[in-house]
Amino acid sequence: MKKIAFLSLILFFTVSCENFLDTKDLTNKSSQNFPATYTDCNQALAAAYNTIGKAKFSSVWIGDLACDDGFGAGAANDYDAHGMDRLRVSTPNMSQDFWRNYYSGIFRVNKLIESLDNVKFNSDAEKKIITGEAYFLRGFFYSELSKIFGEVPLILSAAQPVNYPKSPAKDTYAQIASDLLMAVENLPNDKNGVTPQHYGHATKWAAESLLARVFLFYTGYYQQAELPLQQGGAITKQQVITYLDDVIAGSGHNLVKDFRNLWPYTNSRTKEDYKYTKGKGLNWVGDNNIETVFAVKSGYVTGYGEGYNYLCQLFGIRGQTNKNNVFPYGESYGQAAVNPRMIDQWEADEPNDTIRRWGSVIDVDSPREGFKKYEIGGWNMVEETKLFIKKYELVFVYTDKTNADPLKWKSTTYQVALQGLIANLYSVSLQDIVLIRYSDVLLMHSELTGTANGINSVRARAGLPAVAYSLDNLMKERRYELAFEGLRYFDLLRWYGKEAGVIIDQNQNGADILNDKIPAQYSADLAQRIRLTGGFMQIPESEISLSGGVLIQNEGWTGAGINLE
């Protein structure tokens, strides 16, 4: 049987199409009888949500590497990280994990949508909730694929797959907008209406917020006044403002009192043993807090694998001989090392913004961290700046201080200590990956309305004075409030288009780094690469091959001079 391009995508859990077709039905569930009930629909939704968490390399990872605030770093052979950082080919399939998982999610949602009329729901309310979540997820998957790859195949059916070409961006964004509107119209208008067993699921407020983000990217990058709809017509700026007004007035979401309480290093078992947080009265608000509008939930696994928060492993402090030297953080891969130029600019722009700056960034040389010893060049680190992302780190607690030698104190991750899990260094990284925070909602509202209300609400939380609205002030506020949350790169693309690389190069080239302990300066040519690629990533070559040439590689990713050196 001929392999078809998107069969490999939508059925990623099989080895091949032949293997899938030969698989026996061991559950008595098939496409003919599943889903049949509301419970079945929730299982189908869970399978679709699961594809978000299973993608190791998320848009947050891509966005933090490609922007001007972080470098590839890690080891010299962390090829994919360096490829994403420089928009160069590291391997022919460096983005395959993300592509396959998200198209798998689309297949699962398409199947669910096509089955809805045959499901026996107990009430109209049940059907509306399932409908709203399904359409939200399809809109979400395509919005992520579109901002990373540009034009992508638009698949709206779970029927036997065929070789789909790319769809024009206008058509894909029209479908995204229509799907998100379906979500807004069907999801309940409940204030904080998500019950604990549904944490991580879409809400009306998440749909309205994502619609605003999609509007800003599409109208900015593609220089359009409105966001088209699949059924005809368009969504205007004023309509998007109305949706954000609804989130602000009716969702129950709000800003957490102290910015640092958003991040797990302020958890109850760590904070009084960590010099940075000791005695400050900080208290982690936990996942599912009032500021989280939409997040990826991480699962507990007992071994190395998928499903946990892989960002904490990728971004954490790299290769220390004894993690107690850098308590409460542990040894990880050290990717997306923070650009020291970014910190210099932050201090120049906002000298008093210390809560957010040092609540977001670890400076291993600073007395505020209280580290006993930091070993440079851990695991042969390159592009080392001695600055790491604090928002997504492996966070530890002490479990045994009886030994007189602090370097021999026993420790474990905070998730193990707080939830009684079996200790496993990486697989208990259960921290949410927050994709939409309420502060982002406020900043999008300011940008769309041209007013400073949202900006100043966010600044007040950080203890900063009010400012007048200007696009420059808005850009700075987004950069610092949302630092290292995967948004900066895509903000630069929508503000500057193919010239975004000029800004990135200006802000990062010449920065001091260490390559395996040897002083050097960072250098890249994002100005050229973004002009050639439009800022979009390489489509996996395996999918190009499987399509028999129907799927065309993105501009700037073929020919000479594209490989990572």
46-85 confidence digits (pLDDT tens): 999 989 877 667 899 999 999 999 999 999 999 999 999 9
Q: Are 445 and 457 in contact (CB under 8 A)?
A: no
> Is the per-residue pLDDT at 13 higher than 50?
no
Region 399-421: mean pLDDT is: 88
Other C-beta atoms lying within 10 Å of the C-beta of residue 254: 14
Secondary structure element (H or E) that encloses residue 293, with its range: strand 292-296
What pLDDT, in 10s, does the model give residues 239-296? 999 999 999 999 999 999 999 999 999 999 999 999 999 999 999 999 999 999 999 9
**106: amino acid identity, one letter:** I
Residue 70 DSSP label: B
The token pair that represents 509 in the structure block: 């080239």
Give the per-residue pLDDT at 421. Answer: 85
Give the per-residue pLDDT at 256. Answer: 97
For a pLDDT cut of 90, what percent of the chain falls above it?
Answer: 80
**Per-position b or e across 206-242, b if 16+ CB within 10 A of its CB:** bbbbbbbbbbbbbbbbeeeebbbbbeeeebebeebbe
Long-range contacts of residues 126-129, Cβ cutoff 8 Å, at least 24 apart? 126/38, 128/186, 128/187, 128/188, 129/186, 129/187, 129/188
Give the per-residue pLDDT at 439. Answer: 98
Q: Would you kindly state where each structural domain of the chain is located, as residue ranges?
A: 259-433
Give the per-residue pLDDT at 194. Answer: 52
Query: Which of the four pLDDT bands, split at 50, 70 and 90, describes residue 306?
Result: low
Give the per-residue pLDDT at 1. Answer: 30
> Is the per-residue pLDDT at 153 higher than 80?
yes
Query: Which of the four pLDDT bands, split at 50, 70 and 90, describes residue 420?
Result: confident
31 vs 385: which has the higher pLDDT: 385
**392 CB-contact burial (10 Å; exposed 0-12 / middle 13-18 / buried 19+):** buried
Out of 40-49, 211-220, 231-240, 296-305, pick the least confident. Answer: 296-305
